[in-house]
Amino acid sequence: MDLITLISVKLSSNEVGRDAFGNRYYEERRARPGKPPRRYVRYNGMTEASKVPADWHGWLHHTEATPPPEGGYLRHDWQQEHQPNTTGTSHAHRPAGHLLKGGKRAAATGDYEPWTPS
């Protein structure tokens, strides 16, 4: 976030909370006539929309009226922790046969038949 944007957010908005990743969330002090107040996120580190956890996503997009509780919402056993998108990083998923993972695919099993036009 550049300096001018940072100053304008600080002057026109109130900090509402932070998430586990260190992102800070703000809401506009004065809403525009007939519209809800704008809500902002200041990312901790690189700006990447997938860094916003589901708890905060609902509030940020006006689906939830109030920000999530301090420790987040209760989780079900089957729910996984939020992970930002890792595409393009060293943590990205690389299936077997990927060039960065050795480039060797498993041999074909013989059940593959290429399409040929008749």
Identify the pLDDT of residue 1: 59
What's the CA gap between 56 and 75, in Å, rounded?
14
Using CA atoms of 18, 21, 22, 25 in order, give the dihedral in degrees to the nearest 10.
-40
Q: What's residue 106's pLDDT?
A: 76
Q: What is the pTM of this model?
A: 0.72
The stretches in the chain having pLDDT less than 50 are none
Determine the 3-state secondary structure of 28 from DSSP: strand
Structural domain total, the chain: 1
For 61, the domain range is 3-73
Q: Please check whether residue 113 lies inside any domain of the structure.
A: no
Question: Quick one: how far is CA 35 from the chain centroid?
Answer: 25
Residue 86: predicted pLDDT: 87
Residue whose tokens read 């036009």: 117
